Structure 1
Amino acid sequence: MKVAITGASGLIGGALTTSLEGDGHQVLRLVRREPRGPGEARWRPGGDVDVDALEGVDAVVHLAGAGVGDKRWTERYKREIRESRVAGTATLATALAGLSAKPAVLVCGSAIGYYGDTGGRDVDEEAPQGGGFLAQVVADWEAAAGPAADAGIRVALPRTGVVLAGAGGMLGTLLPLFRFGLGGRMGRGRHWVSWISLTDQIAALRLLIEGDLSGPVNLTAPRPVTNADFTRAVARAVRRPAPWVVPRFAVRLAAGGFADEGVFISQRVLPRRLTEAGFPFALPDLDAALSKELAVR
């Protein structure tokens, strides 16, 4: 199988590439710089794609885009998030729709930010779009994949939660603080965190590539936790106390609007469609997930 991937150098894209190549599949990395060999092809989000290189690929996985938590949410960075996600998806979907030999599937990365703040309610893929900047961006970038679906390509939309990996992502940012005894809960710690281990994230993406699911699919573990419980679990994993409380105003100063929509947001998102498809979670428990992911750091 030949799979084209955008964002192949990122945390998830890199792990997915390793998984696919380890099983003997061919990966074509779509890059924004000049390609360095036959395993790469050029694309420009909001611009164009090397369509000749995409002819005959079996699957395309789109993971590229500005990270929603990478920088403070200024108006300029919010525009960058929107443009990179929406325009990039539209560019790729339109290019795929015009191919003579179309891929069987486009797996277009999405996020549980679609649901907005859901408090303590359980939500699954049937839940409506929530409010806020991120929910609207997610809705728009999912819609931008429409040309591929209209052309008969199966489109799967993995709505990913907080991915736990020892070498990157949110956990990679938190670990140095926790290891120095500087960890602590966010505010009262009552808001829910919907997480997934990198191990299960990659296995779920493989299912979407090789299976038959289409539309939105929540990529979250079946046991969400509160921020307070998450904090205690990370502290146990690194064997350090985490006595501190990080006030909301301090996070707002540092992160802007991301504080409310990304840090203090409460989301209890359940993976109904994965469960119904019989997906075997390797790490459904937070303590076990942290132990495994930190061991392979």
Structure 2
Amino acid sequence: MRIVITGASGNVGTALLRRLAGADHELVGVVRRPPKPVGVYENVRWHGLDIASPHAAPDLRQVFDGADAVVHLAWGFQPTRNIDYLSRTGIGGTSAVLEAAHAAGVGQMVHMSSVGTYAAGRYGERVDESWSTYGISTSPYSRHKSAAESLLDEYESENGDGGVVITRMRPGFIVQRLAASGLMRYALPGFVPMLAVPLLPLLPLDRQLCIPLIHADDVADAFARAVERRAAGPFNLAAEPPLRRDDVAKVLGAKSIHVPSGVLGTLVDVSWRARLQPIDRGWIDMAFSVPLLDCARAEAELDWHPQWSSIAALEDVIRGVAQEAHAESPPLRRRSLLEQLHRDLTEGQLTTRRLP
């Protein structure tokens, strides 16, 4: 099969390339900054293309020619103060990918959605794929994921069985060891070394925390199975058990302290507005609003079963943080503290740069 993957050098993209390695597929990667062709990135034909560009659709149309499937992973998490760019990447990019896939006659589009597309109202309870995808209004990430799914709804309504087969993956929060440097760079201020995270003596979190977590390898396996089966529709993806505050504290070796989510959200919002850290309040609101995931459909139709428990997945990424683990791609490579501070001084903070 000829499989085109947008965002192929990121967290899930890197895991998907690992999963597909050795299979008889022609792999094509579409990224803003192509990685060096080494390791898992070696046997991939790379195209440097920003899906947020106004000319993305016609450019993608050429790349998609002859593709059996397009896996759309590309998304933006920073800069959190440039909502316009994040919208052009998430919503505009999805529109461009869908338009190009239709024009090129691609057989299937597998879209990376998220638990973040789901509406609030069932926190700590499981929902299946029929739950509302209205999103969490205070989270730009969640709003954009919801809007992207609306684009897919409109396309399916207009094209019926005559268009591209649409598959929607809705995983929980995704982690892996090799993504540690990338995840920490987006979550920590540039002046805080990631090695400090495993040394935290205290974990100030609301005791009610209960979220779906999943390892990137298990997400990649579900994507591969969906492409192999040309499975359509939405699929929830999460590991067991649901991750709770005390599970996080145990993995970190820290003492948990109850801080109500509302207070935590206010502290995050104030520190974000003061430009002390890069995470906006929407991420806290989402963590304490999204439901848990019923994955029975993926298990039945994809014969998919996660190999990592949520605790093992968290341990894997925390080990990665302690080792400053990274992959050899621009989104995941390690940046030294000096390099991050230099970029903050010369190009602006991560949350305000034109591009992350």
Aligned to 1:140: 147
Aligned to 1:184: 203
1:55 aligns with 2:60: no
CA distance 1:89–1:171, shift in 2 (3 Å):
closer
State whether residues 268 and 281 of structure 2, in contact with CA within 8 Å, keep that contact through their aligned partners in structure 1. Answer: no
1:162 aligns with 2:173: yes
Find the partner of 1:103 among 88, 103, 106.
106
1:84 aligns with 2:89: yes
Match runs of 1:1-297 below 5 Å:
1-32=1-32, 39-45=45-51, 46-48=54-56, 49-67=59-77, 70-72=78-80, 74=81, 77-99=82-104, 102-117=105-120, 118-130=122-134, 131-134=136-139, 135-145=142-152, 149=156, 150=159, 151-168=162-179, 172-173=183-184, 176-182=195-201, 184-186=203-205, 188-226=206-244, 228-235=245-252, 240-243=253-256, 248=264, 249-253=266-270, 254=272, 255-277=279-301, 278-283=303-308, 285-291=309-315
Distance 1:178 1:43 in 2: 34
**Aligned-partner residue type, residue 123 of structure 1:** V
**Which contiguous aligned blocks of 4+ residues in structure 1 show a shift greater than 4 angstroms?**
33-38, 146-149, 169-172, 243-247, 291-297
2:70 partner SS: strand
TM-score when scaled to structure 1? Answer: 0.81
CA distance 1:35–1:196, shift in 2 (3 Å):
closer
**Aligned-partner residue type, residue 178 of structure 2:** A
Measure how far apart 1:55 and its partner are: 1.3
State whether residues 123 and 270 of structure 1, in contact with CA within 8 Å, keep that contact through their aligned partners in structure 2. Answer: yes
CA distance 1:251–1:189, shift in 2 (3 Å):
farther
Aligned to 2:328: none
Distance 1:42 1:146 in 2: 29
State whether residues 107 and 156 of structure 1, in contact with CA within 8 Å, keep that contact through their aligned partners in structure 2. Answer: yes
Distance 2:312 2:283 in 1: 28
Distance 1:36 1:180 in 2: 33
Distance 1:33 1:293 in 2: 24
CA distance 1:71–1:161, shift in 2 (3 Å):
farther
**Aligned-partner residue type, residue 128 of structure 1:** S
State whether residues 123 and 288 of structure 2, in contact with CA within 8 Å, keep that contact through their aligned partners in structure 1. Answer: no
State whether residues 115 and 170 of structure 2, in contact with CA within 8 Å, keep that contact through their aligned partners in structure 1. Answer: yes
Measure how far apart 1:33 and its partner are: 5.8
Structure of higher RCO (CA pairs closer than 8 Å, 6+ residues apart): 2
State whether residues 60 and 97 of structure 2, in contact with CA within 8 Å, keep that contact through their aligned partners in structure 1. Answer: no
The number of equivalent residue pairs is: 283
Distance 1:185 1:28 in 2: 43
Aligned to 2:337: none
CA distance 1:94–1:146, shift in 2 (3 Å):
farther
2:21 partner SS: helix
Measure how far apart 1:205 and its partner are: 1.1
Distance 1:136 1:294 in 2: 29
CA RMSD of aligned residues (A): 3.1
- Percentage of matched positions with identical amino acids: 21
**Aligned-partner residue type, residue 47 of structure 1:** H
**Aligned-partner residue type, residue 68 of structure 2:** D
**Which has the higher mean CA deviation after the structures are superposed, 261-270 or 52-61?**
261-270
Measure how far apart 1:163 and its partner are: 0.7
**Which has the higher mean CA deviation after the structures are superposed, 28-37 or 262-271?**
28-37
**Aligned-partner residue type, residue 115 of structure 2:** I
Measure how far apart 1:20 and its partner are: 1.6
TM-score when scaled to structure 2? Answer: 0.69
Measure how far apart 1:169 and its partner are: 5.8
Structure 2 residue runs of 5 or longer lacking an equivalent are: 38-43, 188-193, 273-278, 326-356
**Which has the higher mean CA deviation after the structures are superposed, 249-258 or 5-14?**
249-258
